[in-house]
């Protein structure tokens, strides 16, 4: 008689998503039915730089039928031999396909389409998010069966955990030699949150048997939440409702609400005055019939830039009255269950100097830069905002909003914004393409810590090497030459090219963009 082949299951899950419990449920259900089973795991590096993978092999015949023989199991998966791949998040599904564990002749892929962004996605100055449509397209080609649904949303709707829903999805495929009653018995034997996990299990199984419409993976984590409409913001929005071209007016309300929430009504009014300069410059150069592409882009980038992330802003967002309630809902914690929420913060010299008055902060920051201390004095903080002490510390930091206008960071950002707007106004009549490129350049000035420093450094070097020479003497030819070079170098900066490669590209473009008679300042070493 030909020996049966084990059923192989590979699970990829992020830290805190219960991948280990999911593997234990499957293992316990198999053992309860007398099936030989082996489970191994490979821990990841961190919660979002690497997932933990769990590998199980289940022999489909009970041990009682093997006449004392023991099947030989593998300790790790091999490409082409996996029957079920379970991915707790879309990028984990893509990784499994990339590594060859998903094959069209054998593998059923069960993946949740929600996103938890990886470090490499968030550290790129531009939009570094993984294109979810690529994973969907690959699954259609590489899988025997692809079950890609937003299982996280399903777990949320049923007030349960993601791993319970994924277990139901595994059971719903009917591939494992275990009936659904056996899985439910394993959940009950686990002894924790039994009713919620059973509810999630049944929801997952039902979703596989009668799946809902697939969810576009690029949307669930990216949906934009409207800015809070504070009374002061709404009043200001009403006064400028008809003051801008249609292409711009749909952005202004959200921008005003965002900036009132960030600082105050007066700060939002300064945004409108700055935007007025660009709208007028574009109107003068292009006429009313033009589509105001530049003004629209400036309206977006200016609002983001002016609501920069400093220590005060971070503390404010983490102590919002509705945040704890939202977190409880997202993780499925019942009202009568305790929840501990710990914030991991690592402010450094730049962040603390940014809170000081400019006359103190600038000299101290300059010393730190010259001596290479930017990373030396980073303070790792773990604050429990679900407790009184941790919440109070962040609450008091958030109340420093009144101080923000006096801080070095605020003054530096306002000065940089004004310099950027001046260059935009000068570029519009000379070369519209250059003006658009200068507007897009603001995308480099975002984020915090090392990511922000790299972006700001590249921003400054591009302005010094291409933008300023392109605007010199009001020469349209020089402006056009700068515009030609700007797109290439901006895309390289947004892709976060290393400094050496970026310097070579920037220097080469500057050398070819302008006449030798008009020397271009050298890029910073």
Question: For the residues 74-82, what does the mean pLDDT come to?
Answer: 90
Question: For the residues 105-123, what does the mean pLDDT come to?
Answer: 86
- Residue 277 inside a domain? The answer is yes
- Percentage of residues in the chain having pLDDT higher than 90: 44
> Domain with 122 in it: what CATH number?
3.40.920.10
Question: For the residues 452-467, what does the mean pLDDT come to?
Answer: 89
pLDDT band at residue 126 under the 50/70/90 scheme: low
Question: For the residues 182-206, what does the mean pLDDT come to?
Answer: 90
Provide φ and ψ at 343, rounded to 5°: -95, 130
Complete DSSP assignment for 393-461:
HHHHHHGGGGGGGGBHHHHHHHHHHHHHHHHHHHHHHH-HHHHHHHHHHGGGS-SSHHHHHHHHHHHHH
- Residue 170 inside a domain? The answer is yes
Question: Is the same domain home to 244 and 377?
Answer: no
User: Across the chain, what does the average pLDDT equal?
Assistant: 84
Question: Is the same domain home to 190 and 238?
Answer: no
Q: In what order do the strands lie in the sheet with 145-149?
A: 37-42, 52-58, 7-13, 84-87, 108-112, 145-149
- Residue 14 inside a domain? The answer is yes
Among the listed ranges 91-105, 296-310, 414-428, 495-509, which one has the minimum average pLDDT value? 495-509
Question: Is the same domain home to 38 and 179?
Answer: yes
Give pLDDT, residue 226: 44
- Half-sphere exposure of residue 79, counting CA atoms within 13 Å on the CB side? 7
- Percentage of residues in the chain having pLDDT higher than 70: 88
Give pLDDT, residue 332: 62
Question: Is the same domain home to 45 and 180?
Answer: yes
pLDDT band at residue 7 under the 50/70/90 scheme: very high
Classify each residue of 356-367 as buried b or exposed e, where b means 16 or more C-beta atoms within 10 Å of its C-beta: bebeebeeebee
Both tokens of residue 120? Answer: 């490499």
Q: 183, 209, 235 — which closes off a domain?
A: 209
- Residue 393 inside a domain? The answer is yes
Q: 278, 307, 336 — which closes off a domain?
A: 307
- Residue 446 inside a domain? The answer is no
Question: For the residues 358-365, what does the mean pLDDT come to?
Answer: 91
Question: Is the same domain home to 49 and 186?
Answer: yes
For 244-290, how does the pLDDT look when each residue is reduced to its tens digit (9 = 90+)? 888 899 899 999 999 999 999 999 999 999 999 999 999 888 765 56
Q: 272, 307, 342 — which closes off a domain?
A: 307
Question: Is the same domain home to 43 and 169?
Answer: yes
Rounded CA gap, 106 and 80, in Å?
8
pLDDT for 467 beyond 60: yes
> How many independent structural domains does the chain possess?
3
pLDDT band at residue 522 under the 50/70/90 scheme: very low
pLDDT for 369 beyond 90: no
For 482-506, how does the pLDDT look when each residue is reduced to its tens digit (9 = 90+)? 888 888 888 888 776 677 888 888 8
For 374-393, how does the pLDDT look when each residue is reduced to its tens digit (9 = 90+)? 777 777 778 888 888 988 99
Among the listed ranges 122-136, 380-394, 398-412, 475-489, which one has the minimum average pLDDT value? 122-136
Question: Is the same domain home to 278 and 177?
Answer: no
Smallest Cα–Cα separation from 197: which of 439, 25, 419, 407?
Answer: 25
pLDDT for 209 beyond 70: yes
Question: Is the same domain home to 73 and 202?
Answer: yes
**Using an 8 Å Cβ cutoff, are 495 and 128 in contact?**
no
Question: Is the same domain home to 52 and 88?
Answer: yes
Question: For the residues 31-54, what does the mean pLDDT come to?
Answer: 78
Give pLDDT, residue 511: 78
pLDDT for 148 beyond 90: yes
Question: Is the same domain home to 149 and 57?
Answer: yes
**Using an 8 Å Cβ cutoff, are 506 and 465 in contact?**
yes
pLDDT for 442 beyond 80: yes
Rounded CA gap, 171 and 182, in Å?
10
For 277-286, how does the pLDDT look when each residue is reduced to its tens digit (9 = 90+)? 999 999 888 7
Question: For the residues 399-403, what does the mean pLDDT come to?
Answer: 93
Give pLDDT, residue 519: 47
**Using an 8 Å Cβ cutoff, are 299 and 251 in contact?**
yes
Give pLDDT, residue 440: 92
pLDDT band at residue 50 under the 50/70/90 scheme: low
pLDDT for 229 beyond 70: no
Give pLDDT, residue 138: 92
Question: Is the same domain home to 303 and 315?
Answer: no
- Residue 504 inside a domain? The answer is no
The boundaries of the domain holding residue 262 are 224-307
pLDDT for 520 beyond 50: no
DSSP state of 83: S
Question: Is the same domain home to 316 and 291?
Answer: no
Complete DSSP assignment for 112-155:
E------HHHHHSSS-----HHHHHHHHHHH-SEEEEE-HHHHH
| pTM value > 0.85 | no
pLDDT for 155 beyond 60: yes
- Residue 283 inside a domain? The answer is yes
Question: For the residues 151-172, what does the mean pLDDT come to?
Answer: 91
- Residue 318 inside a domain? The answer is yes
For 324-338, how does the pLDDT look when each residue is reduced to its tens digit (9 = 90+)? 877 777 666 767 778
Give pLDDT, residue 518: 45
């Amino acid at each position: 008689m030909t020996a049966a082949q084990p059923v192989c299951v590979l699970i990829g899950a992020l830290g805190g998503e219960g991948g280990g419990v999911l593997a234990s449920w499957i293992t316990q259900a198999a053992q309860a039915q007398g099936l030989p089973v082996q489970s191994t795991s490979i821990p990841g590096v961190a919660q979002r730089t690497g997932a933990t993978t769990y590998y199980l092999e289940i022999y489909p015949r009970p041990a009682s039928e093997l006449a004392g023989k023991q099947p030989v199991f593998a300790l790790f998966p091999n490409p082409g031999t996996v029957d079920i791949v379970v991915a707790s998040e879309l990028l984990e599904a893509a990784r499994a396909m990339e590594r060859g564990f998903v094959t069209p002749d054998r593998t059923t892929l069960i993946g949740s389409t929600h996103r938890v962004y990886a470090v490499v996605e968030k550290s790129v100055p531009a939009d570094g998010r993984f294109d979810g449509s690529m994973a969907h397209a690959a699954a259609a080609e590489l899988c025997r069966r692809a079950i890609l649904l937003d299982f996280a949303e399903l777990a949320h709707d049923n007030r349960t955990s993601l791993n319970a829903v994924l277990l139901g999805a595994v059971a719903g495929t009917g591939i494992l030699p275990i009936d659904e009653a056996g899985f439910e018995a394993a959940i009950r034997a686990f002894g924790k949150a039994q009713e919620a996990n059973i509810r999630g299990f049944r929801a997952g199984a039902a979703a596989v048997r009668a799946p809902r419409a697939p969810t576009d993976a690029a949307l669930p984590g990216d949906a934009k939440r409207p800015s809070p409409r504070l009374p002061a913001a709404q009043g200001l929005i009403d006064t400028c409702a008809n003051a801008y071209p249609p292409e711009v007016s749909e952005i202004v309300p959200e921008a005003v609400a965002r900036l009132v929430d960030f600082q105050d009504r007066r700060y939002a009014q300064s945004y409108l005055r700055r935007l007025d300069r660009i709208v007028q410059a574009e109107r003068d150069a292009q006429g009313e019939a033009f589509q105001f592409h530049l003004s629209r882009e400036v309206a977006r980038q200016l609002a983001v830039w002016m609501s920069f992330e400093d220590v005060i802003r971070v503390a404010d967002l983490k102590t919002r009255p509705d945040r704890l309630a939202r977190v409880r809902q997202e993780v499925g914690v019942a009202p009568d269950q305790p929840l501990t929420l710990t914030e991991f913060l690592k402010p450094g010299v730049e962040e603390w100097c940014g809170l000081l008055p400019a006359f103190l902060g600038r000299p101290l920051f300059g010393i730190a830069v010259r001596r290479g201390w930017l990373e030396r004095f980073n303070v790792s903080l773990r604050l429990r905002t679900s407790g009184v002490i941790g919440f109070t510390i962040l609450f008091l930091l958030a109340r420093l909003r009144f101080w923000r206008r006096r801080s070095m960071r605020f003054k530096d950002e306002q000065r940089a914004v004004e310099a950027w707007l001046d260059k935009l106004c000068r570029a519009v009549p000379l070369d519209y393409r250059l003006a658009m490129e200068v507007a897009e350049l603001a995308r480099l000035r975002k984020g915090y810590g090392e990511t922000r420093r790299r972006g700001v450094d590249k921003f400054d070097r591009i302005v010094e090497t291409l933008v300023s020479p392109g605007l010199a003497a009001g020469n349209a030819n020089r402006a056009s030459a700068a515009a030609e070079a700007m797109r290439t170098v901006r895309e390289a900066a947004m892709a976060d090219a290393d400094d050496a490669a970026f310097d070579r590209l920037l220097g080469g473009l500057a050398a070819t963009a302008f006449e030798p008679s008009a020397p271009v300042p050298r890029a910073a070493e």
